[in-house]
Structure 1
Amino acid sequence: MKRNQIKRRPLADTVLAKLEPESREYRESYGVDRLYFVVAPSGRKRWEARYKKPSTGRWAWMGLGGYPDTSAKRARAQAQHAAELLADGIDPVEHRKGGHEHPFREAAEAWYQDKVDRGRAEKTIKGMRYWLDNDSLPAFGDIAIHRVTRRDCAALQESIEKRGAFNTAEKSRTWLNQIFGRGIALGHTENNPASNLADVAAQAPKEERYPHLLEPELPEFLRGLSESPSKMIVKTAAWMVVRTASRPGMVRWVEWSELDGDVWRVPAEKMKMRRDHVVPLTRQVLESIEALRPLTGRSRYLFPGEGEKTPVISDMAINTCFSRIGYKGRMTGHGSRHTAKTLLSEHGWPTDWTEAMLAHTKKGLEGIYNQAEYLRHRQQMMQWYCDYLDALEQGITEEDRLAFRDRVKRQVGG
């Protein structure tokens, strides 16, 4: 019997017995319980159930036995049992293999989902996902969590260190400890093989401060940025980093919904210190945003990337923009924060205002109070800063310097 002659489902026993093989193996839906009947080119027949793995959410196949040794009734019973296990979050294939063993992959994915559900910052979640997919799961994802050894964990750490990713290696130690700690609490393992990884960690090279420019170097840089050959989206993002002294990661992920008149309200989940932050937007920033609106105004983000996998411009885009105008190794997105802090401090702006601008707020209620207290002052300070940058770009005169100096005195005194 040819499979194109099947007229009804569930498949009758006579149909199962008479189905003919083809040049390639094929599956036919039995009709219930995601149960499939498989016919090989050799004529051998078997049962399979399709299900979603709890650890990854990906579709997989589970063999239920050959036909006719396993009848349709028995195959259905096995498929229903698998569905019951899945309802309890248990992978039926892993359950069959190891009884009560829990693969590291399953524990790690549950830990990751918990972080997502708790609302961790998008950048942090992205880093965790990258580490899972490229480091920990390829290393021992399919090993039962209680069978992962200290040597396994040390080897993972060493492999990350060898590529120079010392920051990732440090985070890896933290995340492994959390996964194994969670496994202990749930009774999936009695041991944490990542507990002493710091004792064998390689020493990271001394970290250098982000390259940045001082005031005498700014005029040439600003003129170069105005004439940059980078695309408008990237160029606008670069200017926003320079003019707001915000972290490049914050700027890359800014959403149109976060803009409120002449302020940008950054939600706590996007902030390093997990507190809401308000960024005053100067005339220059608002003008550049409005120029961008016809291009990206229908997107969720001001600076969208290309494709679903890159919702915003890459983390290298802004530095690449600086490199293209001759400032590779001399100026970075993060470096613009150092530039702003130095220039503003040298011209007499109060430390409390500049620290609030950089989101270096104090903990607790005082930090929240200071955000509101300094917003008006920061608006004045950052407008002065952007005006001063414009003057530097256009060629500042001594008369201009005196005027800017008097402006600081009036606004700080007021």
Structure 2
Amino acid sequence: MKRSEIKRRPLSDTTLAGLEPDAKEYRELDANGLYFRVKPDGQKSWQLRYKKPDGKWSWLGLGGYPEVSGLLARQKASELRSDAAEGKNPIVTKQARKAIDQAAANNTFEPLAREWYASRLTNWDAGTAKRIIGALDRHVFPVFGKRVYADITPLEWMEFLRGMEQQGILEQMSRVRSYCKDVYDLARVTGRAVHNPLEGLHKYLQSGKAENYAHVSPDELPALLRAIQAYPHATDVRIGLRLLSLFAVRPSELREAEWSEFDFDKKLWTIPVHRKGRKKGLEHLVPLSAQAIEALEELRQYTGSYALLFPGRSDHTKPRSDTVFLMALRRMGYEGRQTGHGFRHIASTVLNEKGFDENHVEAQLSHKKPGVAGVYNKALYLSQRTTMMQWYADHLDELIAGNVVEFKQA
């Protein structure tokens, strides 16, 4: 709109947004010495006309529009007019307020958390570091990132963590609680905080493991497998659940898997060390059963053009949400009865009960034995595990069909 068409002041939001530039810069009065400036190139900003202590009039910029809205500009102008009325220099008080705002920003949770993260970075491998900052970015910073950390109460942290509980991501909740507690410990030992609001909260939160490992009974397993086979929503999620049941790997290992890790000629999946969350260790080799290869080939029709097996919907360079498989199981009616991690427990139980060597089962699950045995036992048992997991895949298919294959040790 043209400036000649302005009908009322203070200027409405519609007027502010619609004012057109002229050949020369101009100012339009909003109210009480606050002006709206429009440049020939269309840039808009706020200026306050005020009288200095020496009695001379001057201009003070209050910020560009629309970053500084009409409401905020009037609030700033009111504060600065009060300063001028008290004989203070508005330029000085504006700078002082900016310094206060900057100090407050530095006292918010996100900068403190990033300082903690940087201080610990050398202690983590690349995969662990990525998961930690990812968890903070995804869960914590949107809620508490811009809050002054000293003002966040234990009750607010409790409600936040219980919200994660309700999502069913108990292990993630436990880790996030631990990260944030460490962040406050940094503030406390450096003299920037007296108390840690997360201290003791773990006593009133679920531990995560019992629910995280929830799994159906042997009698319920055939029905679960059939429900997965008939899952009607997302094809990639259906295939992912099928693969979880066949591989018995950690859900995060499958969710973050890349196509480059699979060798279909050798029938082998190599999970790199950095995705296993350990600074020292071995890559994990997972044999591919005929059923696993069939499922992967089907999945490749949908996501084979991406690096990841399960690319995110909005960002294909990042994997699907860490709750994707859990949410699918909930939709199928298995909330509290089956989780992605629970497939590992099922495989361990079945394989041990059927007489397979415990060492082979533990190697398939990528469990390291405690003590010296765990350090020196480097055996992969790949040949034995290939036979074992092909039997297991056949066994699951027989359960779906309503028959049971009994394994007989040679």
Q: Which category of TM-score, normalised to the shorter sequence, fits these structures?
A: 0.5 to 0.7
Q: Measure how far apart 1:365 and its partner are.
A: 8.6
Show the counterpart of 2:196: 194
- Aligned pair partner of 2:268 in 258, 263, 266: 263
Aligned-partner Cα distance in 2 for 1:252–1:378: 22
> Which one is further off, 268-277 or 278-287?
268-277
Q: Measure how far apart 1:341 and its partner are.
A: 0.7
Show the counterpart of 1:293: 300
CA offsets, 1:168-201, max 9 Å, x none? 775455334432444467x5x3545218822895
- Please tell me the residue identity of whatever aligns with 1:245: A
Is the contact between residue 188 and residue 195 of structure 2 (CA under 8 Å) also seen in structure 1?
Answer: no
Q: Measure how far apart 1:323 and its partner are.
A: 4.8
Show the counterpart of 1:252: 255
Show the counterpart of 2:70: none
Aligned pair in 2 of structure 1 residues 375, 227: CA closer, same or farther (>3 Å)?
same
- Please tell me the residue identity of whatever aligns with 1:160: F
1:46 aligns with 2:52: no
Helix, strand or coil at the partner of 1:348 = coil
Show the counterpart of 1:124: 132
Show the counterpart of 2:183: 179
Q: Measure how far apart 1:296 and its partner are.
A: 0.8
**Structure 2 unaligned blocks of 5 or more:** 4-19, 51-57, 65-72, 81-91
Aligned-partner Cα distance in 1 for 2:255–2:208: 28
Show the counterpart of 1:239: 242
Aligned pair in 2 of structure 1 residues 122, 100: CA closer, same or farther (>3 Å)?
closer
CA offsets, 1:123-153, max 9 Å, x none? 4333222343244335xx3x3x6xx27xx45
Q: Measure how far apart 1:237 and its partner are.
A: 0.3
1:5 aligns with 2:23: yes
Aligned-partner Cα distance in 1 for 2:36–2:353: 76
Is the contact between residue 21 and residue 42 of structure 1 (CA under 8 Å) also seen in structure 2?
Answer: no
Show the counterpart of 2:396: 389
Helix, strand or coil at the partner of 2:204 = coil
1:211 aligns with 2:214: yes
Aligned pair in 2 of structure 1 residues 299, 216: CA closer, same or farther (>3 Å)?
same
1:227 aligns with 2:249: no
**Structure 1 unaligned blocks of 5 or more:** 7-17, 31-35, 51-60, 67-77, 83-91
- Aligned pair partner of 1:103 in 107, 132, 151: 107
> Which one is further off, 292-301 or 337-346?
292-301
Aligned pair in 2 of structure 1 residues 380, 38: CA closer, same or farther (>3 Å)?
same
CA RMSD in angstroms comes to 4.5
- Aligned pair partner of 1:308 in 299, 305, 315: 315
- Please tell me the residue identity of whatever aligns with 1:179: V
Aligned pair in 2 of structure 1 residues 40, 101: CA closer, same or farther (>3 Å)?
closer
- Please tell me the residue identity of whatever aligns with 2:325: I
Show the counterpart of 1:360: 367
Helix, strand or coil at the partner of 1:194 = coil
Is the contact between residue 307 and residue 317 of structure 2 (CA under 8 Å) also seen in structure 1?
Answer: no
Aligned-partner Cα distance in 2 for 1:322–1:199: 29
Is the contact between residue 284 and residue 386 of structure 1 (CA under 8 Å) also seen in structure 2?
Answer: yes
Q: Measure how far apart 1:96 and its partner are.
A: 5.5
Aligned-partner Cα distance in 1 for 2:356–2:364: 11
Aligned-partner Cα distance in 1 for 2:341–2:215: 8
Q: Measure how far apart 1:289 and its partner are.
A: 0.9
Q: Measure how far apart 1:345 and its partner are.
A: 0.3
Helix, strand or coil at the partner of 2:28 = coil
- Please tell me the residue identity of whatever aligns with 2:393: C
Show the counterpart of 1:56: none
Q: Measure how far apart 1:385 and its partner are.
A: 0.8
**Aligned residue-pair number:** 343
Show the counterpart of 2:144: 136
Is the contact between residue 211 and residue 332 of structure 1 (CA under 8 Å) also seen in structure 2?
Answer: yes
Q: Measure how far apart 1:234 and its partner are.
A: 1.0
**What TM-score does the superposition give when structure 1 sets the normalisation length?**
0.65
- Please tell me the residue identity of whatever aligns with 1:265: T
Aligned-partner Cα distance in 2 for 1:220–1:101: 54
Helix, strand or coil at the partner of 1:46 = strand
CA offsets, 1:18-41, max 9 Å, x none? 6443889457699xxxxx983459
Aligned-partner Cα distance in 2 for 1:101–1:324: 42
1:306-385 to structure 2, matched below 5 A, reads 306-308=313-315, 311-323=318-330, 327-362=334-369, 367=374, 370=377, 372-385=379-392
Counting aligned pairs with the same residue, the percent is 25
Aligned-partner Cα distance in 2 for 1:326–1:132: 29
Aligned-partner Cα distance in 1 for 2:327–2:199: 35
Aligned-partner Cα distance in 2 for 1:101–1:323: 40
Helix, strand or coil at the partner of 1:38 = strand
Q: Measure how far apart 1:155 and its partner are.
A: 3.4
Q: Measure how far apart 1:278 and its partner are.
A: 2.6
Is the contact between residue 268 and residue 277 of structure 1 (CA under 8 Å) also seen in structure 2?
Answer: yes
Aligned pair in 2 of structure 1 residues 156, 302: CA closer, same or farther (>3 Å)?
same
Helix, strand or coil at the partner of 2:381 = helix
Helix, strand or coil at the partner of 2:286 = strand
